[in-house]
A and B are shown apart, each in its own frame.
Chain A
Amino acid sequence: MLKRHLLPFQTSGARRRVFTVLLCLGLLVAACSKPNSNKTDSQLGFHQTIDEAGRTITVPDTVTRFISLAPSLTEIVYAIGAGEGLVGRTTYCTYPPEAQKVEAVGDTLKPSIERIIALRPQIVFVSTASQLEAFTNELEAHHIAVYVADSHDLEGVFHSIERVAEVLGKRTQADELLKQLRARVSFVAERVKSQPPVRVFYQVSDEPLYTIGRDAFITDLIKRAGGVSVTADIPGAWPKYSAESALAAKPEAIILPTGGSMGNANSNVASALKRSPAVISGRVYKVNDDHLSRPGPRAVDGLEDLARALHPEVFTK
């Protein structure tokens, strides 16, 4: 067991290997007896890497126990075949179905630090969308590495998949997955290429009116699906938006993310938009919000949903 842990360190002679094992054991004992000293991190069994928030973090070379605090990250973990190492998830992590067998450590906004520590993860994956900055510091104070994922477009989602796979040692599986995902993305791109872009208003909630801004990865998905978000230049990811500006933007289509694991809220167009070209021409589309609100592998499902809604004429089967 221990030997397998050390495999990444290619040493020349048997003597040196024995020495390394002993040194490692010694360090382990030292680390266990003095949990407050983290001097030993960098030498053996760990390496440094930079997460998507630009933080330098020290992660174990072999990760066998980890926790995901975002539904998107849980989906990534299973899609690259690393699901068996997942020891904790949030109550929102409901996909794939086998994730529901994993112990829940609370919801995305209020995970239980006690339960996380009790589960002894080597690393915890969080997403910036979950706003867990303070929480991150607390976990690191307990010597649990925290990887922060942060994607603002589809390329960013693919980058997240790649990086998470690197940390979990699933690079080959990730490459295979990404090959498939990229093929589906270019299939959509090919189909919508010659279509005029549709002006889209994406309604996150109707009362008050929330939409997507510059930093939401959905803005990029809409663009790739042959549309253009009328709020693509608004700062922030989820701005509260003026109803009159939404109407004045004359959206040709309105997307209502709804009907996923969060239930059927947001299934009506805001009353202010009743006179918009989209409503008049009947171009209001409900799209599964689980595909669109989670920057994970199913974002490509969301891309296909959007493309089919915006350009049904090129997707007839």
Chain B
Amino acid sequence: MITARTSEIAPKDRALRGIDGSRATLKKTLLVCAILFTALVVVIIFMALLGSEKLPTQASLCALFTFGKSSCGLTGDQDAILFDIRLPRILLGAAVGGSLAVAGASYQSLLRNPLAEPYLLGISNGAAVGTMIALVFMGAYEWSRPLMAFSGALIATLVVYRLAQGRTGATPERLILAGVIVTTFLSSAIVFVTTLMDATRIRSFTFWLLGDLSGTTTKLLWLGLFIAIAGTIVLAAHARSLNLLMLGERDAFDLGVEVSRVRLVVFIVASLLVGSSVASSGSVGYVGLVVPHLVRLSLGSDNRITVPAAAICGAIFVVVADTIARTIIAPRELPVGAITALIGAPLFVYLLRRR
């Protein structure tokens, strides 16, 4: 009994010490973020040079550094390829990757489950069903897509959360089972909605369902970037509460965390993040799983660092994966979700075996 109690106090202690050292953590967070952000910018610039069409490297770099103000000898078409096609797609990839990774990181802390991830929990599928309903029945309204995706993600989140709450609390296995049930149910819903569509559109939808960054509007891109950045800031601001929630909801409550409020904030913000990324690019899988875990492996599990770091690393991961998707069989393309899953699934197995 006594040993059990002491071992219970120890992590609390550590968490409390974490609060005392918050200034030191802030410094570390800023340093880590600065380094990672520089890496992201370098990756974006480098990936902007790669594509199915070869652009002159020096001229492209020059144009990128002047933010397109000077064409640096690029022809009109090359300029359009770089700034109207490639860069928006890369930025969308960054927004989607950041959104999904942050959503995954906060689900994992909140639900105290290392396997929690928008795709595996069926939340991406919820957003996908919402998007497809918007496309089939509300095609005329551009904003119906992200709005319905958000609603779908939120409903799926709440259903999975409810299903996972057993008499003995939410075990990791129960949560994953709930996710499987919701995922398969929503997959059937997707099949049902596709039968309501034109035959010619079904092919493009199956592609989109696997995650595809090629087709988006400028408005959705800006919305995606805004939600990714705002969502990361909001969730990073709740990182201390998320740290304490990793001890369990009751302990967190005893330590002064407004558990139900934090839970609601995380659910809404994460649903917004997943909804906006699915509305613009379908379900890109495994990002929310792979990225937070890699970040924790290298930087520890303090959410004050993990949440913002996961956002930037997620952005890097998807930008690189999408560059592979759009160049490997150029000028044809693969869905980016296929690449993230190819990298993510083996890593997932590795993480499962390590537990």
Q: Which residues in A have some Cβ–Cβ distance to B below 8 Å?
A: 92, 107-110, 204-210, 231, 234-236, 238-245, 247-248, 250, 262-263, 265-266, 270-272, 275, 289, 293
- Give the docked Cα–Cα distance between A243 and B82 (Å): 11
- Give the docked Cα–Cα distance between A207 and B84 (Å): 15
Complex contact A206–B215 (CB within 8 A): yes
A206-B215, A263-B198 given as contacts; is B81 within 8 A of A244 (CB)? yes
For B327, give the chain A residue with the smallest CB separation.
A242
Question: Which residues of B are found within 8 Å of A209, using beta-carbon distances?
Answer: 214-215
Complex contact A247–B208 (CB within 8 A): no
Complex contact A210–B203 (CB within 8 A): yes
Complex contact B84–A241 (CB within 8 A): no
For A270, give the chain B residue with the smallest CB separation.
B215
For B217, give the chain A residue with the smallest CB separation.
A271
Flag whether B34 is at the interface (Cβ < 8 A). Answer: no
Count A/B pairs, Cβ under 8 Å. 89
Question: Which residues of B are found within 8 Å of A275, using beta-carbon distances?
Answer: 76-77, 80, 84
Flag whether B52 is at the interface (Cβ < 8 A). Answer: yes
- Scan residues 65-86 of chain B and give those whose CB is less than 8 A from a CB of chain A: 76-77, 80-81, 84-86
Flag whether B333 is at the interface (Cβ < 8 A). Answer: yes
Question: Which residues of B are found within 8 Å of A109, using beta-carbon distances?
Answer: 199, 202
Flag whether B168 is at the interface (Cβ < 8 A). Answer: no
Flag whether B53 is at the interface (Cβ < 8 A). Answer: yes
Question: Closest 5 A-B residue pairs measured CB to CB?
Answer: A207-B215, A245-B331, A242-B52, A244-B81, A242-B331
Beyond contacts A231-B331, A250-B77: 16 other A-B pairs, Cβ-Cβ < 8 A, are A92-B199, A109-B202, A204-B200, A206-B215, A208-B333, A210-B204, A234-B331, A240-B207, A242-B51, A242-B332, A244-B86, A262-B199, A263-B198, A271-B84, A271-B217, A293-B200
Q: Give 21 CB contacts A-B under 8 Å.
A: A92-B199, A109-B199, A207-B214, A207-B216, A231-B331, A235-B332, A241-B331, A242-B332, A242-B333, A244-B53, A244-B85, A245-B53, A248-B53, A250-B77, A266-B200, A271-B84, A271-B217, A272-B84, A275-B80, A275-B84, A289-B200
Complex contact A238–B85 (CB within 8 A): no
CB < 8 Å: which of A107, A231, A272 contacts B199? A107
- Give the docked Cα–Cα distance between A235 and B198 (Å): 25
Question: Which residues of A are found within 8 Å of B208, using beta-carbon distances?
Answer: 208
Complex contact B53–A239 (CB within 8 A): no
- Give the docked Cα–Cα distance between A210 and B202 (Å): 12
Flag whether B212 is at the interface (Cβ < 8 A). Answer: yes
Chain B facing A: main interface SS: helix
Shortest Cβ distance from B36 into chain A, in angstroms? Answer: 28
Question: Which residues of B are found within 8 Å of A238, using beta-carbon distances?
Answer: 203
Question: Which residues of B are found within 8 Å of A239, using beta-carbon distances?
Answer: 332
Question: Which residues of B are found within 8 Å of A247, using beta-carbon distances?
Answer: 77, 80-81, 85
Q: Which residues in B have some Cβ–Cβ distance to A below 8 Å?
A: 51-53, 76-77, 80-81, 84-86, 195, 198-204, 207-208, 212, 214-217, 326, 330-333
CB < 8 Å: which of B53, B81, B201, B330 contacts A265? B201
Question: Which residues of A are found within 8 Å of B332, using beta-carbon distances?
Answer: 234-236, 239-242
For A272, give the chain B residue with the smallest CB separation.
B85
- Give the docked Cα–Cα distance between A244 and B74 (Å): 14
For B216, give the chain A residue with the smallest CB separation.
A207
Complex contact A245–B203 (CB within 8 A): no
- Give the docked Cα–Cα distance between A204 and B207 (Å): 14
For A209, give the chain B residue with the smallest CB separation.
B214
A242-B330, A247-B80, A248-B77 given as contacts; is B201 within 8 A of A205 (CB)? yes
- Give the docked Cα–Cα distance between A184 and B80 (Å): 41
- Give the docked Cα–Cα distance between A31 and B326 (Å): 56
Shortest Cβ distance from A40 into chain B, in angstroms? Answer: 39
Question: Which residues of A are found within 8 Å of B214, using beta-carbon distances?
Answer: 207-209, 240, 242-243
- Give the docked Cα–Cα distance between A109 and B194 (Å): 12
Question: Which residues of A are found within 8 Å of B86, using beta-carbon distances?
Answer: 244
Question: Which residues of B are found within 8 Å of A250, using beta-carbon distances?
Answer: 77
- Give the docked Cα–Cα distance between A270 and B330 (Å): 18
A208-B204, A210-B203, A275-B77 given as contacts; is B52 within 8 A of A245 (CB)? yes
Shortest Cβ distance from B89 into chain A, in angstroms? Answer: 8
Shortest Cβ distance from B72 into chain A, in angstroms? Answer: 18
- Give the docked Cα–Cα distance between A270 and B199 (Å): 19
- Give the docked Cα–Cα distance between A107 and B242 (Å): 51
Question: Which residues of B are found within 8 Å of A243, using beta-carbon distances?
Answer: 85, 214
- Give the docked Cα–Cα distance between A242 and B215 (Å): 11
- Give the docked Cα–Cα distance between A107 and B202 (Å): 13
For B200, give the chain A residue with the smallest CB separation.
A262
Question: Which residues of A are found within 8 Å of B76, using beta-carbon distances?
Answer: 275
- Give the docked Cα–Cα distance between A74 and B84 (Å): 44
For B207, give the chain A residue with the smallest CB separation.
A208
- Give the docked Cα–Cα distance between A248 and B52 (Å): 10
Shortest Cβ distance from B91 into chain A, in angstroms? Answer: 15
- Give the docked Cα–Cα distance between A239 and B330 (Å): 11
Question: Which residues of B are found within 8 Å of A266, using beta-carbon distances?
Answer: 200
